[in-house]
């Protein structure tokens, strides 16, 4: 079951350049930074009420975020992530409804979460992530 919007993923060329905007201009606080090697990105998280913003900086030209920035040089909203209670079942439900999955099997994302993506061709142009907290894995960061 989808429980909430967990976060919005926002592609940026440089975390170090983008974070001051969120901190100084908006008054948010960067709470967590983490590299996700499997996705070739560095991430920075902000809380906005219950929802998080996940800034994504590519670490490699082959990163999906690098490809997004080629098409959108200024950066921009990259994906929406739904927090789900049980990720495999949620993927199966989408698949049964005819949605193309980017990941048939969830993988480790930032923040000790399991994540998987639906293909934007099947979701009316919105790259869609499902994420769920890994069983037994507490978040290692400070919040
Ligand atoms: Zn995400």
How far does the centroid of ligand 1 lie from the alpha carbon of residue 114, in Å? Answer: 10
- Would you say 115 and 107 are in contact if contact means Cβ atoms under 8 Å apart? yes
Range of the domain at 12: 2-133
Neighbours of ion ligand 1 (CB under 5 A): 9, 54, 81, 129
Q: Judge whether 140 lies within some domain.
A: no
The enclosing domain of 113 has a CATH number of: 3.10.180.10
pLDDT at 87: 96
Looking at residue 143, what is its pLDDT?
45
User: For strand 113-118 and strand 128-133, is the pairing parallel, antiparallel, or unpaired?
Assistant: antiparallel
What total number of domains does the chain contain?
1
Please give the pLDDT value at position 137.
55
Say what the pTM is. 0.90
Give the pLDDT confidence score for residue 79 in this predicted structure.
97
Q: How far is CA 103 from the centre of its chain?
A: 14
pLDDT at residue 48, as a whole number: 97
**Domain-embedded: residue 49:** yes
Identify the pLDDT of residue 112: 86
Q: How far is the CA of 118 from the centre of ligand 1 (A)?
A: 12
Positions in the chain short of pLDDT 70: 135-143
Question: What is the predicted pLDDT for the residue at 142?
Answer: 44
């Amino acid at each position: 079951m989808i429980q909430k919007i967990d976060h919005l993923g926002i592609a940026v060329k440089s975390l170090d350049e983008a974070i001051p905007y969120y901190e100084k201009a908006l008054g948010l606080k960067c709470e967590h930074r983490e590299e996700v090697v499997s996705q070739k990105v560095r991430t920075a998280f902000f809380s906005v009420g219950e929802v998080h913003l996940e800034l994504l900086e590519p670490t490699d030209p082959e990163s999906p975020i690098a490809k997004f920035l080629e098409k959108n040089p200024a950066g921009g909203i990259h994906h929406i992530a739904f927090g789900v209670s049980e990720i495999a079942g949620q993927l199966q439900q989408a698949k049964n409804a005819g949605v193309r999955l980017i990941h048939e099997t969830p993988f480790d994302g930032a923040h000790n979460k399991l994540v998987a993506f639906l293909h934007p061709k099947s979701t009316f142009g919105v790259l869609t992530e499902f994420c769920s907290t890994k069983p037994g894995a507490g978040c290692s960061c400070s919040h």
